[in-house]
Amino acid sequence: MEMTPLPVVVPLVMAAVLVGLEAIPGNHRLLDILSLATALVVLCLDLVLFDTALTNTIVYWFGGWAPMGGFPVGIAFVIDPAGAALAALAALLTVMGLLFSWHYFRAIGTFYHSLMLLFLASLQGFTLTGDLFNMFVFFELMGVAAYALTGYKIEDTGPLEGALNFSVMNSIGAFLVLFGIGLIYGRTGGLNLAWAGSWVAKHGADRTLLVAFMLLVIGFLIKGAIVPFHFWLPDAHAVAPTPASMLFSGIMVEVGLYAVARIYWTVFSPSLHFLPLRDLLLCIGLATSLAGGVMACLQRHMKRLLAYSTVSHSGMMLAGIAVLDSNALGGTLLYIIAHGMIKAGLFIGTGIILYHYSSIDEEKLRGKGCQMKMTAFLFCASGLALAGLPPFATGTGKAIIERSAEAAGYGSLSAVFLVCSGLTGGAVLRAGASVFFGVGSPNFMSAPAPTSGDREPPETTSQTGGTPLMMWIPFLLLVAGAFAAGVAPQAAGLAAQAGARFTDGAGYRAAVLTGKESMLWPPLPSAPLRWESGAEAALLAVVVAAFFLFRSPLPDRLVKGLKVVMKRGLSWLRDIHSGYIGDYVTWFMIGASIMVVIAVLL
């Protein structure tokens, strides 16, 4: 298809144009409109691509350099439904972020629109490409745009520090990705994913290739914020401007996981012993989701709370991928999309609070938000949706993953999912209840937190009157979108189809190298979903929120003892999130060495 590269080209060109227009003073509305229109165009293009990719994988060779004698000499975009869906999610979140910033960046606006479009272009390229090195370039482009957006409020030390930690950790990840790419190129002689995959299918994966795979996995897991590589995420997401945080949590972290899955299935699935890999990824995924869930409960800085919840959900997504099953992957995809919408919506919620009160400290704002009925409703609904309350699509995705995990003999995964959903959902509900309804007493767990979120630098000039329409409309649309994706009867079928096509490595390689039509996988009728698990998680979330907010009906001394024990245990967890980049790099070295050793022994 001729329009295939347009989702990358259009925002790139527009970013350059907007930099030029920036020089003319007093035209920020023009910039708003142009960037919004660009993101909308990209969204439409992605949806067309998704629709086309559903019937047949799209392969586009740049400059018409098709494979010669079965060897790919050119660079290809290879688009299957999963990649197109993630690209569409990226475009959707950009549209919502730009809508939200309609009022937000009235005062400060330099290069903001260009950076957002650059970020969008790199996300598009990353999800649509079928070439390893292309992936690296878009990965780095994404990084640079993201670092600049994180440090956008350059007048303040918090963003600077967050941006520093973020950029150093992600650069190290990029080096590892580059080592992995170099090793794969040295072994297989090609940079195309399909070519490397067909080489591995023919010759098998030796130790060098296994190490290459592990290096790529570690590099992308840094982006995916998986324990012990996750430390940068809360520092960065908590300080970035709200629209940037929406994109970071909603899609950027997830594309790191997407890259792991993509490389596994296109290149390594034919010849890797998958059982140890499955166990390893499941372990770190579940550890991540537990650590993120607990840390989320300990925060009073609301954006930091959401950032830790992203860590937790990222762990759950990795666990979904790690089941290494097509249905689970489809479920994970649905979960990523629903979570992206909900989490972006929640960040809009904190953005609205910040707009009104110049603070996002849960304790200080207790009861302040009583007037914001609409925001309160959406925020609490999002909290429940985050826990996976049916019929939100988060619940559907989670139920699909749990069903496949049980079929694969990992029944305990459901229990961890339940706990983590309950913790993150509960933390959000607690914050919502105390800010919007003023219930509860000062939270004992977060009282001494050094990162309070009070006296945040305002992102706007005026903050009188009600919430502007352009702020809560995108919130409403996102929550409604996650709801609609859960209610729509086709969603589960589409996810199954996307998962089956994604995990069909042989079909992918044939489509790229020989242009063979891809097989259509009719979604299989399978065991019914356990809807209750979502409802249970939502119930647990309410219980968790209540535990933090209300006096317990248990005897006072028991509660006091419980709190002391918890405080002791959790202070260690809190201490390792030290905020120092040196510590993060040390954790990275420990984790990476263990994983590389495992790859050598595999």
Partner 1 sequence: MNLLPFLVTAWLFLAGLYGIATSRNVIHLVSCLFVAQSSTYVFLLSIGFRRQGTAPILDELPAGARLVDPVVQSLALTDIVVGATVSALILVFALQAHKKSGTLDPRRAPPMRG
Summarize as ranges the residues that interact with partner 1 (CB under 8 A): 133, 137, 140, 143-144, 147-148, 151, 154-158, 160-164, 167-168, 171-172, 174-175, 178-179, 181-183, 185-186, 191, 234-235, 238-239, 295, 298-299, 304, 449-451, 574-575, 577-583, 585-586, 588-589
Residues 6+ apart with CB under 8 A from 197: 266, 267, 268, 269, 270, 505, 508, 509
Q: Which of 286, 220, 289, 292 is nearest to 255 (CA)?
A: 220
C-beta of 450 vs 522, nearer to partner 1: 450
Instruction: Give alpha helix (H) positions in 488-526.
Output: 490-503, 505-513
Establish how many alpha carbons lie within 13 A of residue 351's alpha carbon, considering only the half-sphere containing its beta carbon: 33
State the minimum distance, in angstroms, from the CB of residue 580 to partner 1. Answer: 6
Ramachandran class of 438: left when φ > 0, alpha when ψ lies in -120 to 50, beta otherwise: left
Least separation in angstroms between residue 75's CB and partner 1 is: 11
In the complex, what is the shortest distance from the CB of residue 203 to partner 1, in angstroms, rounded to a whole number? Answer: 17
Q: What are phi and psi of 433, to 5 degrees?
A: -65, -40
Q: Which is nearer to partner 1, 169 or 317 (CB)?
A: 169
Q: Which residues contact 409 (CB under 8 A, 6 or more apart)?
A: none
Measured CA to CA, the distance from residue 201 to residue 579 in angstroms comes to: 44
Q: How far is the CB of 47 from partner 1 (least distance, A)?
A: 31
Minimum Å distance from CB 157 to partner 1? 5
What distance in Å separates the CA atoms of residue 482 and residue 346, rounded to the nearest whole number? Answer: 12
Residue 82 in tokens: 């999963």
CB of 5 to partner 1, least distance (A): 18
Shortest reach from residue 59's CB to partner 1, in Å: 21
Three-state DSSP at 77 gives strand
For partner 1, give the closer residue by CB, 167 or 414. 167
Q: Residues of 437-461 as b/e, b for ≥16 C-beta within 10 angstroms? A: eeebeebebbeebebbbbebebbbe
**SS3 state at 68:** strand
Q: How far is the CB of 109 from partner 1 (least distance, A)?
A: 19
- Residue (143 or 397) nearer to partner 1, CB: 143
Name which of 262 and 304 has its Cβ closer to partner 1.
304
**Smaller CB separation from partner 1, 415 or 576:** 576
- Taking the least distance from each CB to partner 1, the nearer of 168 and 535 is 168
Count each helix (H run) and each strand (E run) in the chain, helices first. Answer: 23, 2
Half-sphere exposure of 322 (CA within 13 A, CB side): 24
Sign of CA dihedral 554, 556, 561, 567: positive
Residue number, 329 or 428, with CB nearest to partner 1: 428
Nearer to partner 1, 371 or 586 (CB): 586
Cα–Cα dist 503/353, whole Å: 42
| Shortest Å, Cβ 160 to partner 1 | 4
Which DSSP helix (H) or strand (E) runs through 61? strand 58-61
What is the token pair recorded at 346?
Answer: 């929640």
Assess contact for 348 and 471: CB atoms under 8 A. yes
Cβ proximity to partner 1: between 30 and 154 the closer is 154
CA angle 97-99-105, nearest 5°? 80
HEC sequence for 92-126: HHHHHHHHHHHHHCCCCCCCHHHHHHHHHHHHHHH
Q: In terms of CB distance, is 115 or 419 closer to partner 1?
A: 115
Bridge partner residues of 76 (DSSP):
61
Q: Which is nearer to partner 1, 335 or 584 (CB)?
A: 584
Q: Comparing C-alpha atoms, which of 247, 296, 531, 290 is closest to residue 392?
A: 531
Q: Which helix (H) or strand (E) covers residue 384, if one does?
A: helix 373-387
Could you tell me the smallest distance in angstroms from the CB atom of residue 410 to partner 1?
A: 32
Nearest to 325 by CA among 388, 223, 413, 201: 413
Nearest distance from C-beta of residue 450 to partner 1, angstroms: 5
- Which of 133, 437 has the CB closer to partner 1? 133
Q: 391: helix, coil or strand?
A: coil
CB of 164 to partner 1, least distance (A): 5
Least distance CB 360 / partner 1 (angstroms): 13
Q: Residue 107 class from Cβ within 10 Å (0-12 exposed, 13-18 middle, 19+ buried)?
A: exposed
